[in-house]
Amino acid sequence: MSQAGASRQETFSGTKEVTAAHAFDVKKLEAYLADRIEGFQTPLEVRQFKGGQSNPTYQLVTPNRKYVMRRKPPGKLLPSAHAVDREFKVISALYPTGFPVAKPYVLCEDESITGTMFYVMDCVEGRVLWEGVLPGMDKKQRWATYDAMNETLARLHNLDHVKIGLEDFGKPTAYVARQIARWTKQYQMSETETISEMNKLIDWLPKHLPAEGKPSVVHGDYRLDNMILHPTEPKVLAVIDWELSTIGDPLADFTYHLMQWQQDGRGTSAGSIMGIDYEAMGIPTLDQYVAMYCKRTGRTETPNMDYYAAYNFFRLAGILQGIVGRVRDGTAANANAAQNAAAVRPLAERAWAYAKRAGAVD
């Protein structure tokens, strides 16, 4: 496991030369930002992050500081995907509250600058970790890291989205129903083979929706490798990759995060921790982690856990099939995206197993 994790860490960490498919006129961007970001110094050097599977992500290096740019990929895109303008809106609302996000600077909807819409934010220096077992840490450090991750998500779900200006960021009801419809549509548009479990889930999930609680901001893809940790401390400095964020069911968001405990590692970039010796490693069990979240959010229970697991495995299968479709269409931003094709079927099978635990019948 650690060997796979090390290769994941190596594969996705750091920057590289900008790929030909994602290159643009650097001088044009330099002139645009110099006029709009106070203290922006030239010359500008651009590097591309190895991660950033969906939206190409760049490091902008200037003489006095670094910035990060996220842009829509060029080419044919699925509807509603790559919503960098939504990412900018949510981090702009969260930043003043003290919630850990990068400082946002500018959103550019003028496609003549880089070819697609983009935004620029501060470059937060720290650690992005790609393996759930956190190699190189001791038990105390691991527990503190998971505790920080738990506290940060609870803090997001406790925010009043109306008070921070996100009242129109998403519909407050029927989040899970809309997500099922969205990923069903994107899965079918990107389908490359028939997976019977996906088709059964597409039929069963909308008919057995759980009762919804109070809506909140949901991240949509909250996991270990979508946060930047302090260089040495177990502290979350910035939550990143807000492309799937909206207003919705916080339990759907939280249970997506729990998939790390529930799957065998196929189809997740953050690295499974299913079946490890939690006590020996100093990592909370699933039940302990749920209890921590409940205490922080004032919940007495987390109902419908098997349904939510089925929904989340289905949703991730749909997301990854979308990436497979983008590989087919030549718009995937990550050279490793093609590997996701092999993950879709196992995720669908796992989803259907949880659906059966929740009452579904073959």
Whether residues 70 and 205 share a domain: the answer is no
Q: Is 233 a domain residue?
A: yes
The whole-number pLDDT of residue 332 equals 62
The whole-number pLDDT of residue 274 equals 95
What residue type is assigned to position 4 of the chain?
A
Q: What is the CATH number of the domain that holds 96?
A: 3.30.200.20
Q: Is 1 a domain residue?
A: no
* pLDDT of 5 strictly over 60: no
Q: Is 2 a domain residue?
A: no
Number of compact structural domains in the chain: 2
What residue type is assigned to position 166 of the chain?
L
Q: Is 9 a domain residue?
A: no
337 and 53 in contact (C-beta within 8 Å)? Answer: yes
Average pLDDT over residues 153-177: 97
Q: Is 133 a domain residue?
A: no
Whether residues 150 and 82 share a domain: the answer is no
Least confident of 31-35, 163-167, 187-191: 187-191
Q: Is 342 a domain residue?
A: yes
Average pLDDT over residues 250-276: 86
Whether residues 297 and 164 share a domain: the answer is yes
pLDDT level of residue 2 (50, 70, 90 thresholds): very low
Whether residues 188 and 226 share a domain: the answer is yes
The whole-number pLDDT of residue 80 equals 59
pTM of the predicted structure, to 2 decimals: 0.91
Q: Is 193 a domain residue?
A: yes
Segments forming the whole domain that contains residue 117: 15-122
The whole-number pLDDT of residue 75 equals 77
Whether residues 103 and 208 share a domain: the answer is no
Whether residues 226 and 96 share a domain: the answer is no
Q: What is the CATH number of the domain that holds 252?
A: 3.90.1200.10
pLDDT level of residue 171 (50, 70, 90 thresholds): very high
* pLDDT of 4 strictly over 50: no
Three-state DSSP at 65 gives coil
The whole-number pLDDT of residue 234 equals 97
- According to DSSP, the β-strands at 246-248 and 216-218 are antiparallel
Q: Is 127 a domain residue?
A: no
Range with the largest mean pLDDT of 13-27, 61-75, 143-157:
143-157
Average pLDDT over residues 135-151: 97
Give the Cβ contact number of residue 163 at 10 Å: 10
Whether residues 231 and 311 share a domain: the answer is yes
